[in-house]
Structure 1
Amino acid sequence: MPLTAESAAQQIQDRLKDIQQQIHIVDEERRRAENSISTLVRSLQTNNAKVKPLLKASMLETSQEEATIRAALAKIHEIRSIRNERRIQARNAGNKEAIRRGALMKMVQLSAQTLPLFVSKPGERAPALCGAIPAEGNYVAKVGDNVAALAKGIDEEENWILAEVVQFLQRQNKYDVIDIDEEQKDRHVLSKRKVIPLPLMRANPETDGHALFPKDTVVMALYPQTTCFYKAIVHRLPATATEEYDVLFEDSSYMNGYAEPLPVAQRYVIAYRPTKKGASSGSGNLSSA
């Protein structure tokens, strides 16, 4: 059943109320946990025999706080899904949004900044499509997901562009995607091997460094203020969950063949995939890209 604007707004409002309640609960749980930890520390300092039960209580309270935070994050994810569903419905109904270039670039950047952060539990490893971890072989990107797509332009040259999935054609094993660039808005039907799903979650460098590309890895990265992916080398990894990679884009106008480092968000740094004619390898001067 199609989601109406009214029902979508109500669902979002309900979830915002839930999040507000959960924030208050988290605040209470945190204060309680801090008091328990303070009591535990005092007991350790005085060799109190009640240390073990106090430790168990502190661990339980911390787990409860974690569960509440995860529940709030789940509500945020639901809100994103509802908004995305409404946007897709509006597009399918023929409603076109005219987005200026500057606004589009801000949306691209905001999408990367608000990408959910994977918070691992002890012993848990980051899943597929978290940071640098690729999708599994049988994975199919969902309608509305952003992908890197190897598409032909006006000059018939193939380039890796930022696109959105319109549908997956099961029988043909092909994607129907649309260029997110408002100036183009071209539709492309591409084989699955010409479409790379983008990360659905950010990796936390402090807990899941294995889910990041190592330094000096050859990758494809979205060149700042464009909607095209180019060949680059990882120069510096993000040190915190909010930081970006620094990458060196291939550029023949520099003596060493690479430009000065530029920041690119985790969402837009993906495994390098060569093309037949070296398309999107970043050859040439990218300073004007």
Structure 2
Amino acid sequence: METDKPTRSRHPIRRFFFWWFKLVLFLVVITELAAVAFTWITPPRTAFMLESGEPTTYQFVSIDHISRFVLASAIAHEDEQLGTRRGAFDIKDFNARVDAYLNGKPDPSGSTIPQQLVKNIFLWPDQSALRKALEAGLSTEFAYTLTPKRVLELYLNYAQFGPKLYGICAATWYYFGEPPWHVSEYQAAQLMGTLPLPSLVQRAKGGGFLLDNTAQSGWAIDYIKGASNVWVPMQIKNMGGWQAVVATIGVTDKASDHAATQDQPDACSTMPQSVADRLKQEAANG
């Protein structure tokens, strides 16, 4: 008597989508666990730091010890809707960016803070469709898992403010010789001007930014001057002042309210060793 022989599935397409579904589900679970982990942890290196190579100038600082002028400037310059938007981005803005990318046009809006954050932590600095898709998925998970306050804290700790210079703690000591809780409104706005072209920013020998014609790029000069003198002050004013801006992410106190804990390691009250080493090396090189 003839018996039926085992055969492969007669539905290869169904099998294909089943395996893709399992892969996507696995990735969603893994990335969500990563997002949850960032509620508590702040790793000392990101993908962008590793890609740029050592020596990296960096040190973590708690948001409690960051000037509220810095917080307000970052929101005003990078993502006004950080504390009021649901999710990582507005879907209309996202669709407009996709359309521009597919048609070879300039980006009409730019990335939000959650998008920039996950790019800095996990991804790489090109403009491929794959990277943008991963960025959209990861940033959505981060935006729904973390509070806007925590997202901003991570962003300011991982943002690049100069060549191999990461985080607001290292940036304020490097440029101004000041801890991040002592930064002025004008200095905070200047720092936001470094974000579009951090690899082109130069420190002046006496501190501050090199803003004359000997700088590497006129674009960097224009961004810093424009941010500090026009764009950031105007945006903060339009949003009701710095107190109103930081209130959108749930911050209602001042950095000075945490003066009693400025002796803690996460206060960045003394110059990080990596900054001191960098300044020493630059002085030796003339």
Q: TM-score, normalised by structure 1?
A: 0.25
Structure with bigger strand share is 1
Higher relative contact order (CA 8 A, sep 6+): 2
* Structure having the larger proportion of residues in helix: 2
TM-score (ref. length: structure 2)? 0.25
